[in-house]
């Protein structure tokens, strides 16, 4: 029998601390109307807490390329292994989104989260910062949808698996001009829609959690968010199908303008040889040992936001791994006050 402890025991609680700290830092800035600042404090905090973790981490999805981002840039080495020469720690690839939904945090809107995914080396696709068309569904719908099928057929398949009518479904779509056709097709089919201003990662996770009231995520969002969603799907037994959207396929000039230069080269360097094909859950997050950790910043569909009170703060997080089938909703009271501090029982 192997005496090696699963990676979960080594790193799961460490990553919980990382997302909690980033979420608390960001939540302090909620409603300040400065999304860059909110992101900045989350990045800084995530980076500094990572320094204490016994790992040799490499950021594979982060805040940008080395010349664009001072911290948590792609390729950056993080963790104690990056600081202590000669030490031997597990090698981990890490995808971070220190504040998913910077606008949501800046305006106090729901569903901003601090999130990361980790795996053994090579366990997460190195997706460049570009767009990706996605469909995300939960365990009971797994295997029933096809990103290339007409929208109405996918909706029928989802409804059948969930034992209800298409009119009973709620589909989340990012509210963008690029989704005009998608939205009208969903409306014609009769399903309900929740349009969101930002945050298709947390939306995808809701689609894979029964009882969230969300049955699928559809449409074009960020590719990095797609990889982190895939890591969550590996742990939740859900499914993501995706396809990169190339510059020339984007109809809106405002979408094309957001893309970085030299995308074709970046994709090649990152090992994406055929950018036109469908990437499924296992291709986006192929790792054998995947860890996923998210902490609510603002109140959301499945995670409550950070609450501050006189003697501390309270956070709610989701931590899970493919190594053990435990999906943990962690309610943490960060006690700070003096001797009179009390912990209140809180029904979720
Ligand atoms: C997408 C989506 C993210 O930002 O990247 C979106 O995947 C940006 O899309 O969840 P636009 O370029 O159209 O604004 C998020 O919503 C993060 O906030």
| CATH fold label, 131-284 | D-Maltodextrin-Binding Protein; domain 2 (3.40.190)
pLDDT in tens, 3-59: 455 555 679 999 999 999 999 999 999 999 999 999 999 999 999 999 999 999 999
Q: In terms of C-beta density within 10 A (0-12 exposed, 13-18 middle, 19 or more buried), how is residue 140 classed? A: middle
First-last CA distance in the chain: 39
Read off the pLDDT of each residue in 110-115 and give the average, rounded to a whole number.
98
- Tell me the CA–centroid distance for residue 86 and ligand 1, in Å: 40
| CATH fold label, 7-121+288-335 | Fructose-1,6-Bisphosphatase; Chain A, domain 1 (3.30.540)
3-state secondary structure of 237: coil
Who lines ligand 1 at CB under 6 A?
A: 100-101, 174, 176, 198-201, 221-222, 225, 258
pLDDT in tens, 302-322: 999 999 988 899 999 999 999
Q: Which of 63, 107, 109, 225 to mutate to test the pocket of ligand 1 (most atoms within 8 A of CB)?
A: 225
Q: Which atom of ligand 1 is nearest to the CA of 104?
A: 18
Q: Which atom of ligand 1 is nearest to the CA of 131?
A: 5
Q: Which atom of ligand 1 is nearest to the CA of 102?
A: 18
Read off the pLDDT of each residue in 122-129 and give the average, rounded to a whole number.
94
- Enumerate the CATH 3.30.540.10 domain ranges in the chain, comma separated: 7-121+288-335
The DSSP secondary structure of 304-320, one letter per residue, reads ---EEETTEEEEEEEEE
- Enumerate the CATH 3.40.190.90 domain ranges in the chain, comma separated: 131-284
If you take atom 14 of ligand 1, which residue's CA is the nearest one?
198
């Amino acid at each position: 029998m192997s005496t090696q402890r699963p990676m979960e025991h080594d790193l799961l609680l460490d990553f919980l601390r990382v997302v909690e700290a980033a979420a608390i830092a960001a939540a302090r800035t909620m409603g300040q109307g400065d999304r860059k600042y909110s992101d900045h404090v989350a990045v800084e905090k995530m980076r500094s807490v990572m320094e204490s973790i016994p790992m040799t981490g490499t950021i594979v999805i982060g805040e940008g390329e080395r010349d664009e981002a001072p911290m948590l840039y792609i390729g950056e080495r993080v963790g104690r292994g990056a600081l202590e020469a000669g030490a031997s720690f597990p090698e981990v690839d890490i995808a971070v989104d220190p504040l998913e939904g910077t606008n949501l945090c800046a305006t106090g809107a729901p569903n901003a989260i601090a999130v990361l995914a980790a795996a053994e080396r090579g366990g997460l696709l190195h997706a460049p910062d570009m767009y990706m068309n996605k469909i995300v569904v939960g365990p009971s719908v797994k295997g029933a949808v096809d990103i290339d099928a007409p929208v109405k057929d996918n909706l029928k398949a989802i409804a059948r698996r969930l034992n209800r009518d298409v009119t009973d479904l709620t589909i989340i779509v990012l509210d963008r001009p690029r989704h005009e056709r998608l939205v009208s097709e969903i409306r014609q089919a009769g399903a309900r829609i929740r349009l969101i201003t930002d945050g298709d990662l947390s939306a995808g996770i809701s689609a894979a959690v029964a009882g969230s009231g969300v049955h699928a995520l559809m449409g074009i969002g960020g590719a990095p968010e797609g990889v982190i969603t895939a890591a969550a799907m590996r742990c939740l037994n859900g499914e993501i199908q995706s396809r990169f959207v190339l510059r020339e396929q984007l109809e809106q000039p405002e979408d094309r303008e957001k893309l970085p230069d030299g995308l074709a080269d970046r994709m090649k360097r990152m090992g994406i040889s055929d950018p036109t094909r469908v990437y499924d859950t296992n291709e986006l997050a192929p790792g054998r040992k995947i860890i996923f950790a998210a902490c609510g910043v603002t109140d959301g569909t499945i995670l409550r936001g950070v609450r501050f009170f006189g003697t501390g703060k309270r956070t709610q997080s989701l931590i899970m791994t493919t190594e053990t089938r435990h999906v943990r909703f962690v309610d943490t009271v960060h006690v700070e006050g003096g001797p009179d501090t009390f912990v209140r029982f809180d029904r979720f």
